[in-house]
Amino acid sequence: MPENATRRILVPLALAQFICSFAGSNMNVMINDMSQDLNTTVQGIQLAITLFLLVMAALMIPGGKLTDKYGRKRCLNVGLAVYGVGALLSAVAPGLPLLIVGNSLLEGIGTALLIPPVYILTTLLFEDVGSRARAFGRINGMGGIGSATGPLIGGLIATAISWRAAFIFQALVIVLIVVLSRRDVRDPLPADRSRPFDTVGAVLSAIGLVLLVMGILATDDNGWLAAGLMVAGALVLAGFFLWVRSRERAGREALLSPTLFRSRTSNIGLLTQNIQWLVLMGVSFVVSAFLQVVRGYNAIQTGLILTAATAGLLLSSLAAERLAHRRAQRTLIMAGFGLTIAGIVLFIAVLEVAKGFWAYLPGLFLIGLGIGAMLTPSVNIVQSAFPDERQGEISGLSRSVSNLGSSLGAAIAGTILVADLTRVPDRAYMLAMIVVGAIGLVGLIAAVFLPGTRPASTTPAPPPRKPAPAR
């Protein structure tokens, strides 16, 4: 594929991932301003943030499945439209209820519709290992940059204009994506309108995920309620898997085929994806709150400090294609987790030792470098484990697992901070970072069990030599 054509395809797809990731983190530095303007509490704004992440995770699997029925490009366009409307409603919201409708619900639904097509189209349009690694590297890099720069861009906009302008910015980016994708992004596979949609499976999966994350959020308020919600969520998800298995055995279309979980490599890849986004969102949440509440930095200062993580993430993401040719994907994922954990340890070590902002930069840079190094190989492992006709299912599952990680990261970190904030603030943030780092260690251990084979070469093999003539 010519370089110009590749760029025209990748730019709108990467921008789509950027803006959705940006939306998940930019509000972290505007919590105080938004709560005052909307006459609500900090906890109310945090609830809206977590609900946005949760809606994405709960609807990503159905969103991926709908691409087979209605087409990847059409779902992308509908998702962009819904997201844009949600951003505009959020910008004019007079109170928390309309903010939740616009940001948490409509933007969450729009993201669940538009993100699976981004990854399906990338998998279908870039067939060899090298070009696919480069494409995923740019898209995942933009996603990571969106999460990492969300506080900076959001802080700049909120300080210079208003927090409402940050949602106008999102709507403008959506318009740009629509314009850029209209001509050059094409769907290589036809839609199949005759394919049935598993509505019961969609409802069960969404309810199960919602109950699970809401249980985590309720931990600091009521332990028994939290335990009940998490048990209920686990039971509903178990019922979901029984439902799809029985439906598939009966020869009917299921929302998610249980056979997707027969690939050991894909399963481990999904686990590492989940933990990567959990760590990224958890660190972003904790560091943003710590710098503002404990150190007293404003939105712009907080965002500037977090650019250290952005720089590391951008550096490793840009090297994704070259690294994919030279190192096994397991090696890249293990190295990524190792760097990330080292960065968290370094950040914790300086919390009570140094007060200057410069002391936080090395740890944040290592965290960004590690996250960027492993995002692409984890996605590539999962997407490449299945043929083209199953990309709708696996893409929806992959994005749902990743966004569930983001939801869990925000929920776990937020729960720890709320539970301990009034007693020993510094220690509460330290505890939250330790927990996030420990979960990252679980990801490192899981990555050990990935296959250690080197990536296949994208250079055509030379023709066989002709046998020498007999003398």
In angstroms, the CA 246 to CA 50 distance is: 33
Q: What is the torsional sign of CA 78, 47, 96, 18?
A: negative
Q: What is the mean pLDDT of residues 360-380?
A: 87
Between 203 and 257, the more confident residue is 203
The predicted-structure confidence for 140-149, as pLDDT tens digits, reads as follows 778 777 876 7
- Does 358 lie in the same domain as 407? yes
Between 61 and 203, the more confident residue is 203
- Does 220 lie in the same domain as 172? no
**How much of the chain, in percent, has pLDDT values that exceed 90?**
26
Question: Which range, of 34-48, 66-80, 276-290, 410-424, averages the lowest pLDDT?
Answer: 410-424
DSSP string for 233-247: HHHHHHHHHHHHHHH
CB 142 within 8 A of CB 101: no
- Does 202 lie in the same domain as 156? no
Question: What is the structure's pLDDT at 440?
Answer: 94
Question: What is the structure's pLDDT at 138?
Answer: 78
- Does 108 lie in the same domain as 69? yes
- Does 101 lie in the same domain as 13? yes
In angstroms, the CA 105 to CA 109 distance is: 6
User: How much is the CA Rg of the chain, to the nearest whole Å?
Assistant: 22
Question: What is the structure's pLDDT at 288?
Answer: 80
- Does 360 lie in the same domain as 247? no
Question: What is the structure's pLDDT at 344?
Answer: 94
Question: What is the structure's pLDDT at 462?
Answer: 39
In angstroms, the CA 313 to CA 362 distance is: 13
Angle 92-163-282 (CA atoms, 0-180°, nearest 5)? 115
Q: What is the torsional sign of CA 312, 421, 436, 407?
A: negative
Please say if the pLDDT value at position 458 is more than 50. no
Question: Which range, of 220-224, 240-244, 330-334, 372-376, averages the lowest pLDDT?
Answer: 220-224
The predicted-structure confidence for 117-134, as pLDDT tens digits, reads as follows 888 888 777 766 567 767
In angstroms, the CA 209 to CA 59 distance is: 9
- Does 212 lie in the same domain as 108? no
Please say if the pLDDT value at position 349 is more than 90. no
Number of domains composing the chain: 2
In angstroms, the CA 205 to CA 188 distance is: 29
CB 283 within 8 A of CB 144: no
Q: What is the mean pLDDT of residues 240-257?
A: 87
Is this prediction's pTM over 0.95? Answer: no
With respect to residue 461, please indicate whether it lies within any of the assigned structural domains: no
Between 258 and 172, the more confident residue is 172
Q: What is the mean pLDDT of residues 250-262?
A: 83
- Domain residues for the domain of 238 are 198-254
Of 254, 276, 298, which closes a domain? 254
* CATH number, domain with residue 126: 1.20.1250.20
- Does 218 lie in the same domain as 70? no
Question: What is the structure's pLDDT at 321?
Answer: 66
Question: What is the structure's pLDDT at 464?
Answer: 40
- Does 229 lie in the same domain as 259? no
Question: Which range, of 28-42, 86-100, 106-120, 406-420, averages the lowest pLDDT?
Answer: 406-420
- Does 263 lie in the same domain as 250? no
Q: What is the mean pLDDT of residues 82-94?
A: 95
Q: Which of 46-60, 165-179, 212-226, 401-415 has the highest mean pLDDT?
A: 165-179
Q: C-alpha 440: how far from its chain's center?
A: 15
Please say if the pLDDT value at position 401 is more than 70. yes
Residue 92, C-beta contacts closer than 8 angstroms, at least 6 positions apart: 98, 164
- Does 315 lie in the same domain as 286? yes
Q: What is the mean pLDDT of residues 180-188?
A: 81
With respect to residue 470, please indicate whether it lies within any of the assigned structural domains: no
CA-based nearest residue to 448, from 316, 281, 328: 328
CB 148 within 8 A of CB 313: yes
Between 471 and 142, the more confident residue is 142
Q: Which two tokens stand for residue 317?
A: 């993401």
